[in-house]
Every structure is written in structure tokens, then in C-alpha cells.
């Protein structure tokens, strides 16, 4: 009877001592999720703003979301494949002496900057981005605020101020943005 009790113990010892050394935690990227991180980007369809999800490496980052907006809609994007935008692309450089600039056609700036302080989001556009329409301003506010809210949800409207490349300031909020 004692021999039968020792068999399971001997089997357990044999299985646990198979010669494979123990290792610590192996870092191999982010956790498996099966879905890609997305952020809403607001384009125009039939005169109305429509949020469309875009893949991003920086969900919750308003500047990254605005760069996706500035890049424009993808071909065939939208219910009817006719999304448009009233946000101009980043201005490109003109030919300049090699000592002062990159190659012609390169963006003059990395893009817009976004700060949030005391419930107000400030969006500053680089010089040359000064032809924003009211709809373009709404696209920027809704896109930046939606990205910001991914990691900081709140029921309160977020006040916003957009300063274009020429210094024109437009105030608004994300109240009334679709899907808010």
C-alpha cells in the first residue's frame, strides 16, 4: 500500500525535473488582443461630419489623430465612398538653399500641436495651414477631442480653441460632435 502512495509522488518528480531551465518574464511586445488600436477621425459626407475609425499606434493622442485627419480620407472610404475633408494638408517647403532646409516637397512642420489645460483644448496649426473653413475647424475639434476622450472619458463638453497658421483663433467645443 505504501508503494502505491509513492508512485504518484515519483511521477510528479519525474515530470517536473525534465531538464528545462526556468526563465523569467520574456518581453515580446504588447498584450495579445486580436484588435488593433483605433481612434475616430471626422470627415465630411453629404455636408455632415462622420466619425470613421482609423488604426493608430497612439490611441488617445490628439496630435496623432489630427495627423490622420490631415492625411485625408482613404480612397473609397465612407458609406458611399465619398468622404471629403475641409482640412488642408501640411504645407510643403519651396526650394531653399541646402543649408537651411530639407528637400523640396517635405513638410515645413511636424504638424499641429495640442495641449489641454483646465478643461480647454488648444490646437495650434503650423504656418501655412491658414485656410480652415468652419467645417474644417469642427473636424479638427471633434477629431482631437474624440482621441483625447479615449483615455479620459468625461460627460462634460471640452472647450477648444484652434489657432491656424496665420494666427486666426476660433473657439468651440466638442459638444454636438457626432457620436459624442
In a domain, 158, yes or no: yes
Write b or e for each residue in 92-123: b if 16 or more Cβ atoms lie within 10 A of its Cβ, otherwise e. Answer: ebeeeeeeeeeeeeeebeebbebebeeeebbb
Checking if the pLDDT of 95 tops 50, the result is no
What is the spatial distance between Cα 140 and Cα 88, in angstroms, rounded to a whole number? 11
Which pLDDT band, with edges at 50, 70 and 90, does 115 fall under? very high
Owning domain of residue 55: 38-86+109-173
Checking if the pLDDT of 11 tops 60, the result is no
pLDDT for 138-149, tens place per residue? 999 999 999 999
In a domain, 6, yes or no: no
Amino acid at each position: 500500500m505504501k508503494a502505491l502512495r509513492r508512485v504518484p509522488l515519483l511521477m510528479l518528480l519525474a515530470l517536473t525535473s525534465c531538464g528545462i531551465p526556468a526563465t523569467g518574464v520574456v518581453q515580446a511586445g504588447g498584450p495579445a488582443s486580436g484588435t488593433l488600436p483605433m481612434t475616430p477621425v471626422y470627415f465630411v459626407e453629404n455636408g455632415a461630419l462622420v466619425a470613421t475609425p482609423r488604426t493608430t499606434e497612439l490611441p488617445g493622442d490628439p496630435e496623432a489623430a489630427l495627423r490622420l485627419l490631415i492625411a485625408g480620407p482613404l480612397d473609397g472610404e465612407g458609406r458611399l465612398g465619398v468622404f471629403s475633408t475641409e482640412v488642408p494638408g501640411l504645407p510643403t517647403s519651396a526650394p531653399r538653399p541646402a543649408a537651411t532646409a530639407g528637400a523640396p516637397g517635405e513638410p515645413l512642420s511636424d504638424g499641429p500641436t495640442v495641449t489641454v489645460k483646465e478643461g480647454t483644448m488648444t490646437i495650434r496649426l503650423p504656418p501655412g495651414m491658414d485656410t480652415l473653413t468652419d467645417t474644417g475647424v469642427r473636424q479638427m475639434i471633434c477629431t482631437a477631442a474624440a482621441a483625447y476622450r479615449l483615455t479620459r472619458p468625461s460627460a462634460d463638453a471640452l472647450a477648444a480653441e484652434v489657432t491656424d497658421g496665420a494666427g486666426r483663433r476660433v473657439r468651440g467645443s466638442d459638444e454636438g460632435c457626432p457620436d459624442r
